[in-house]
Amino acid sequence: MSILVHNISGSPMGWRVLLGFAFKGVDYEVNYLNGSEREHKQPRYLAINPHGKVPAVEYNGEIFLESLSILGLLDNWFPERPLFGSSPDSMKRIWRTTTRHSDYLLNATNAVVFPVFNGSEGEPKLDPADPNQIARASKLLKTELAVLEQLLQNGAFLCGEEPSAADAVAFPDVARVMRAWETKPASMKLFGIENFHEMFPLLSAWQGRISVLEGVASTRPPHWK
Ligand SMILES: N[C@@H](CCC(=O)N[C@@H](CS)C(=O)NCC(=O)O)C(=O)O
């Protein structure tokens, strides 16, 4: 039974679902919508997701929406290599970590990478009415990255020795921060990210570890290649 994921290149919520399939070793196809042409707001896609958001997954003749619920369903459809753990204790830890990062890390990442990617190098696109924007966003992001760094003191992945939903959710955001730092270092310096590898050595190693897992390379946003 084929699986089709509708996604937009660079969308963290679409990327986390692709990682869920990759961690499980399950094959899927991706339909990349053209975000700049607003393909996700055209009637054809709105018939799939009336909110005009990605991801959406077509499987078994049904359409599934909402990235976290799709990750949860993956364990139902493909029980091997569970994304949400196999004991009540690991399940509790993974759900808590996954939902925390789905919310705080995503927002903290957006607060920094949106102005950086949308501005020119050394001149992030800031809101002129908000003099504290850089200081606030910098603090938010560094706090969230420090939480991840701390978790990685306990194991190779965020919730232990196997990749879980928590890694699938955090990876795209950390990758976006690293991408911003690699492509716009002067802008990222303004936000207090000067040398990502030195500031967050465990996170940096974790990124490398996940990047080489089977099936992960092809989940990278095509427009980054
Ligand atoms: N709650 C939804 C949110 C999906 C969402 O916000 N997707 C973003 C990309 S990460 C999107 O489609 N943005 C396009 C737009 O709003 O125009 C989920 O978790 O799947």
**How far apart, in Å, are the Cα atoms of 122 and each of 93, 143, 180?**
39, 23, 12
The domain spans of the chain are 3-77, 88-224
What pLDDT, in 10s, does the model give residues 46-71? 999 999 999 999 999 999 999 999 99
- C-alpha 179/C-alpha 162 separation (Å) is 25
What pLDDT, in 10s, does the model give residues 120-131? 999 999 999 999
For ligand 1, pick from 40, 54, 173 the residue to mutate: most ligand atoms within 8 Å of CB.
54
Q: How confident is the model at residue 225 (pLDDT cuts 50, 70, 90)?
A: confident
- Checking if the pLDDT of 78 tops 80, the result is yes
CA 7 to ligand 1 center in whole angstroms: 9
Joined tokens for residue 123:
């001149």
- Checking if the pLDDT of 1 tops 80, the result is no
Residue 46 one-letter amino acid: L
C-beta separation of 208 from 171 below 8 A:
no
- C-alpha 206/C-alpha 203 separation (Å) is 5
Beta pairing class for 29-33 and 3-8: parallel
Atom 11 (ligand 1) nearest CA:
53
CATH T-level assignment (fold) for domain 88-224: Glutathione S-transferase Yfyf (Class Pi); Chain A, domain 2 (1.20.1050)
Residue range 219-225: mean pLDDT, rounded: 95
Residue range 142-149: mean pLDDT, rounded: 98
- Checking if the pLDDT of 162 tops 90, the result is yes
Q: Angle formed by the axes of helices 12-24 and 165-183, to 10°? A: 130
Q: How confident is the model at residue 35 (pLDDT cuts 50, 70, 90)?
A: very high
CA 8 to ligand 1 center in whole angstroms: 9
Three-class secondary structure assignment of the chain: CCEEEEEECCCHHHHHHHHHHHHHCCCCEEEEECCCCCHHHCHHHHCCCCCCCCCEEEECCEEEECHHHHHHHHHHHCCCCCCCCCCHHHHHHHHHHHHHHHHHHHHHHHHHHHHHHHCECCECCCCCCCCCHHHHHHHHHHHHHHHHHHHCCCCCECCECCCCHHHHHHHHHHHHHHHHHHHCHHHHHHCCCCCHHHHCHHHHHHHHHHHCCCCCHHHCCHHHC
Q: How confident is the model at residue 183 (pLDDT cuts 50, 70, 90)?
A: very high
Atom 15 (ligand 1) nearest CA:
53
Q: What's the confidence (pLDDT) of residue 222?
A: 97
Residue range 104-116: mean pLDDT, rounded: 98
Q: State the residue for tokens 């996604």.
A: 7
Cβ < 6 Å from ligand 1: which residues? 11-13, 40, 52-55, 66-68
The two domains 3-77 and 88-224 share their CATH topology (first three levels equal): no
Mean pLDDT of the chain: 98
- Checking if the pLDDT of 169 tops 80, the result is yes
* pTM of the model as a whole: 0.97
CATH T-level assignment (fold) for domain 3-77: Glutaredoxin (3.40.30)
Residue range 85-97: mean pLDDT, rounded: 97
